[in-house]
């Protein structure tokens, strides 16, 4: 019996590993070939937006899926990162790399400040405090017209060239060039996030999600680990904000509003919060539904809401989470059949 349980556990881990590797390989191949498959500037831009939203959703999943902390204010990093990129590249120095570093660093600092207060709470109180912080930042951005442009937003955010000064430069004004630039940045950051999630640090976060009291009992500083997760999530969200800023060329305080945070949570739930790539899948699905439904009706959120109700009732683990669980059960079931025959 003990050997059989051990075999089942090993098969489950192996199946999950194979599923993740296959999914990553398939997604990466599809992403690389996307401009050649769609051959349309509009859909290349849609794919670019999906990449940025995928990074944003995966950043939130460090809190929801790995640490068990539901944040209702994650859009604050999208907005702050976008404004940091825009202010630096428009008013200081038009550098893509400097702008992205400013976006990530500013959100890391903001996440540290917010996290000092938020990680001491849990459940509904944590969610409400993150929402309150995000609304404070939204209000500041809305009324500080001299810096943010207020409700008019900021126009003319550049797409600076990349390259080595005096050697070569690559223009990002082309939709295809910018798509591949975003793909490289997002793939690198998601790979970094994957390494962190599968490190001993990531395992501790999952243990905190399951039983924070027991983790604290064995001597690990739970609040400190939560704070680190909060900072990582905020930093990745800031990079997504910087990319979104230069992608759109226009930003407004609406990026910081609580409804934007709700959409990021929806992405995570749609794809599956307990699957690393689930939020990325959910981001693609949500944006595709929005784009498709808007061709027929204005109220695309009604369709998304209906799908979410069905998911909660029938697929609580999300779409990608369901398929991963199905593959795992299929493998374990086959192994049980082999054991019985032997």
Distance (Å, rounded) from C-alpha 319 to C-alpha 327? 13
Confidence of residue 329 (pLDDT cuts 50, 70, 90): low
Cα dihedral 33, 34, 40, 45 sign: negative
Greater confidence (17 vs 177) lies with 177
Of 260, 278, 258, 259, the residue nearest 268 (C-alpha): 278
- pLDDT confidence band for 67 (50 / 70 / 90): very high
pTM strictly above 0.85: yes
Would you place residue 20 in the very low, low, confident or very high pLDDT band (cuts 50, 70, 90)? low
DSSP code, position 199: S
Compute the distance between CA of residue 102 and CA of residue 124 in angstroms, rounded to an integer: 32
pLDDT exceeds 70 at position 131: yes
Run of H or E including 211 = none
Tens-digit pLDDT profile for residues 185-229: 999 999 999 999 999 999 999 999 999 999 999 999 999 999 999
In the chain the domains, ranked by start, together with CATH numbers, are: 2-341 (1.10.3470)
Estimate the share of the chain in helix, then strand, then coil, as percent rounded to the nearest 5: 80, 5, 20
State residue 233's pLDDT score: 96
Stretch 85-93: mean pLDDT: 93
Q: Helices 123-143 & 75-91, crossing angle to 10 degrees?
A: 30
Residue 9: predicted pLDDT: 41
299 confidence band (pLDDT: 50, 70, 90): confident
């Amino acid at each position: 019996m003990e050997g059989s349980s051990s075999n089942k556990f090993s098969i489950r881990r192996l199946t999950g590993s194979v599923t993740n590797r296959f999914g990553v390989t398939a997604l990466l191949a599809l992403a690389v070939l996307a401009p050649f498959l769609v051959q349309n500037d509009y859909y290349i831009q849609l794919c670019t937006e999906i990449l940025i939203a995928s990074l944003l959703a995966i950043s939130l999943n460090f809190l929801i899926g790995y640490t068990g902390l539901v944040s209702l204010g994650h859009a604050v990093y999208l907005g702050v990162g976008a404004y940091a990129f825009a202010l630096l590249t428009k008013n200081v120095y038009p550098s893509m790399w400097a702008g992205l570093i400013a976006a990530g660093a500013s959100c890391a600092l903001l996440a540290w400040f917010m996290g000092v207060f938020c990680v001491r709470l849990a459940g509904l109180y944590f969610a409400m405090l993150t929402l309150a912080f995000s609304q404070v930042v939204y209000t500041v951005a809305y009324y500080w017209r001299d810096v943010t442009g207020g409700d008019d937003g900021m126009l003319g955010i550049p797409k600076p060239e990349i390259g080595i000064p005096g050697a070569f430069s690559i223009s990002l004004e082309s939709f295809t060039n910018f798509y591949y630039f975003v793909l490289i940045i997002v793939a690198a950051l998601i790979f970094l996030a994957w390494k962190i999630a599968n490190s001993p640090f990531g395992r501790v976060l999952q243990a905190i999600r399951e039983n924070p009291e027991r983790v604290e009992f064995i001597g690990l500083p739970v609040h400190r680990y939560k704070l680190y997760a909060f900072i990582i999530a905020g930093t990745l969200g800031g990079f997504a904000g910087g990319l979104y800023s230069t992608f759109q060329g226009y930003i407004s305080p609406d990026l910081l509003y609580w409804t934007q945070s709700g959409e990021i949570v929806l992405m995570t739930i749609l794809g599956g919060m307990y699957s690393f790539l689930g939020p990325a899948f959910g981001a693609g699905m949500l944006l595709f539904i929005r784009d498709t439904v808007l061709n027929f009706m204005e109220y695309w959120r009604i369709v998304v809401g209906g799908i979410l109700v069905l998911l909660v009732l029938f697929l609580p683990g999300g779409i990608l989470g369901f398929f991963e669980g199905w593959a795992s059960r299929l493998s374990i079931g086959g192994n049980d059949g082999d054991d019985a025959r032997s």
